[in-house]
Amino acid sequence: MEVFFATTNEGKVTEANEILKKVKLKILKEDVPEIKSIDEIETIVEKAKAAYKMFQKPLIVEDTCLFFSAFEGFPGTYTKFAVRTIGLETLLEMLNGKTRNAKFITCIAYIWGEEKFEVFQGIMEGKITENLRGVSKPGLPYDSVFIPNGFDKTYAELGDEIKNKISHRTKAFQNFEKWFEKKEK
């Protein structure tokens, strides 16, 4: 089964295709307008609607948020913006002397009509390191600073094989795949 994925982040598509067993994602490489809301569900639903208007075909969109326990709701839906504007090192410095607990939430929306959509989530709790550990892939900068609960290495240090078995994105895409298989039958 093939599903279109509207994103400019090829790293996300590669990772998702490594996770999925029965669904193959095909990239629609276009920047989809994204509202900025502190609510990740509202953000992903509006992004899905915008993508559907652009392409007029069933597709998925994905957004991943990182939440620092020390700063309620931050960077949240501004995760990518925070790295681009102030940088990963500055974000790490902001946590000095504070709790380094954090959680990733991946939201996926599958949309097949203007008001026909379903949202899936995957959550992984963990800690933020004090410095970069391992090399993150392009488009996935937080992999070198996030240690998932139950591990002592960052996603980047764990490598794709382990990360793709446990991550927030894995959980979200597995939830989507289970639902999609039932829907298509």
Catalytic residue of the set 63, 143, 152, 160: 63
- Our CA angle for 48, 77, 65, nearest 5°, is 95
CA distance 43 to 77: 8
Show the tokens assigned to 150: 């139950």
The residues pairing with 148 across neighbouring beta strands, listed in sequence order, are 126
- Is 143 noted as a catalytic residue in this protein? no
For 115: left if phi > 0, alpha if psi spans -120 to 50, otherwise beta; the answer is alpha
User: How far is Cα 4 from Cα 110, in angstroms, rounded to an integer?
Assistant: 9
Phi-psi region of 116 (alpha: psi -120 to 50; beta: other; left: phi over 0): beta
Distance CA 141, CA 137 (A): 7
Q: Determine whether 37 is exposed, middle or buried from the number of CB atoms within 10 Å of its CB (0-12, 13-18, 19+).
A: middle
Catalytic site positions:
63
